[in-house]
Amino acid sequence: MSEVLAQMLELAMQKYRTMGAGYEQDGRKFPRFKVDVPAALAGDKKIAPIQIVDISQRGVGFVIEEAFEIVEQQTYLLLVSFAKLQLQPTIQIVHTSQADGKIQVGAVFKNISEDDMQRLLLLVLLSRIQDEE
């Protein structure tokens, strides 16, 4: 990891710790943050656009609008791309619900390296910090 990226990550993680204060009250191990990040979900021979709506170190919540068969406990590939950053962690669906013609999904990360997790959190945190300015 480059020195600049390491410094950005440290600043973002400091912000992460202050932004997530109080998460223990929900009975969660990690803070969950509301975000608005476009991504894609890859299943068997199909890729669909999704909108990531919250994220933590354990998992991700997202909304999908197009017809796409979501099966609980099934694993899928989450495709996140930003600038030159490409991440493809495997996720496992743990919850689905429908509202307003959209499928709301909760998933846990099943296969993501520590470096990719830090990059994903950095991406999300930088987008949140930018939104606050």
Query: What structural domains does the chain harbor?
Result: 3-132 (2.40.10.220)
What distances in angstroms separate CA 2 from CA 43, 62, 117, 129, one per listed residue? Answer: 33, 30, 16, 21
Taken in order 16, 6, 133, 107, is the CA torsion positive or negative?
Answer: negative
Mean of the pLDDT values across residues 96-125? 84
81-87 long-range contacts, Cβ below 8 Å, gap at least 24?
81/39, 82/37, 82/123, 85/119, 85/123, 87/112, 87/116, 87/119, 87/120, 87/123
**Local structure of 67: helix, strand or coil:** coil
Question: pLDDT tens digits for 48-82?
Answer: 999 998 888 888 999 998 777 788 888 888 888 76
**Local structure of 59: helix, strand or coil:** strand
108 backbone dihedrals φ, ψ, rounded to 5°: -110, 150
Query: Does the reported pTM lie above 0.85?
Result: no
Reported confidence tier of residue 40, pLDDT bands at 50, 70, 90: very high
**Contact criterion met (CB below 8 Å) for 36 and 53:** yes
